């Protein structure tokens, strides 16, 4: 199915509902992999038509390891939308990843386990995607150009360490992840990014730093979450507003 010039946004923690989104209709999508986290919501964001999917379901009912990532990505692809921005609340590891920062990562390291990682597990022969650069370059540029147009502070290169959850990490786990080269830590970019690549979707992540990772801050983690996430969401809103005034990348 040819890709439409419509953006799909996958909303994460703190972004299960988009403040400026005007919903027009919903669609229940059946997939070979079961039900998505929630219905696809069609509507307008800053005047542009988009599709919105709440990754954790209505009311944030699904923990990261319980999400049916295959159904979510399949549902988006099945309606002909090929540009995807995934919103994710993350913890900051390296010095410049302070709470309230917006990050558009270009790399990831996967620490998850036991999640359904592929659509091809029953294929013969097995298919191997090129995952050298896990986030789509054109979608990342679209977000970065929007951030520059809106003059919003952001970090355009970072490595996202994806952990299993739902618990937060230990101090030593974060120390190890920093040694591995991780700048931020979250729980949802895998297998989401890999499944998007298997389907040929143009997928990028807009990460919102809601707290310092374990051992990196001076306050208890949950004490800073709400205010920092609110600040990051406000910046993300400006980025999306500017970006949606520009054409989306075309499907190759």
Q: Which CA distances in Å does 125 have to 60, 74, 119, 200, 208?
A: 38, 21, 13, 19, 39
Alpha helices in 48-152 (DSSP H): 69-78, 137-150
Between the two ends of the chain, the Cα-to-Cα distance in Å is: 13
Q: What is the pLDDT of residue 3?
A: 45
The mean per-residue pLDDT over the stretch 20-28 comes to: 93
Q: What is the pLDDT of residue 175?
A: 98
Q: Could you identify the residue written with the tokens 């209505």?
A: 58
Hey, what domains does the chain have and what are their CATH numbers? 4-243 (3.40.50.1580)
**The predicted structure's pLDDT at residue 15:** 60
What does the pLDDT look like over 190-227, one tens digit per residue? 999 999 999 999 999 999 999 999 999 877 777 777 88
SS3 207: strand
The pTM assigned to this predicted structure is 0.93
pLDDT at 20 over 80: yes
Output the average pLDDT for the chain: 92
Percent of the chain with pLDDT over 70: 95
Burial of 153 (0-12, 13-18, 19+ CB in 10 A): exposed
pLDDT one-digit tens code per residue, 32-64:
999 999 999 999 999 999 999 999 998 778 999
SS3 of residue 150 by DSSP: helix
């Amino acid at each position: 199915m040819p890709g439409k010039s419509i953006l799909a946004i996958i909303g994460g923690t703190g972004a299960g509902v988009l403040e400026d989104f005007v919903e027009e209709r919903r669609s229940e999508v059946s997939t070979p992999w079961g039900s998505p986290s929630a219905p696809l919501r069609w509507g307008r964001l800053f005047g542009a038509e988009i599709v919105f999917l709440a990754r954790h379901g209505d009311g944030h009912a699904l923990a990261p390891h319980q999400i049916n990532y295959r159904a979510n990505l399949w549902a988006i692809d099945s309606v002909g939308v090929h540009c995807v921005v995934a919103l994710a609340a993350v913890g900051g590891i390296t010095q410049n990843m302070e709470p309230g920062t917006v990050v558009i990562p270009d790399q990831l390291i996967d620490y998850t386990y036991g999640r359904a990682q592929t659509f091809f597990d029953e294929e013969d022969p097995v298919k191997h995607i090129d995952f050298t650069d896990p986030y789509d370059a054109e979608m990342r540029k679209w977000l970065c150009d929007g951030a520059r147009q809106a003059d919003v502070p952001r970090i355009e290169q970072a490595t996202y360490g994806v952990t299993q959850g739902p618990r937060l990490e230990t101090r030593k786990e974060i120390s190890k992840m920093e040694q591995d080269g991780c700048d931020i830590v979250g729980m949802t970019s895998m297998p989401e990014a890999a499944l998007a690549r298997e389907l040929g979707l143009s997928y990028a992540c807009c990460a919102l730093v809601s707290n310092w990772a374990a051992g990196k801050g001076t306050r208890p983690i949950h004490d800073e979450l709400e205010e920092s996430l609110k600040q990051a969401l406000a910046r993300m809103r400006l980025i999306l507003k500017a970006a949606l005034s520009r054409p989306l990348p075309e499907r190759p």
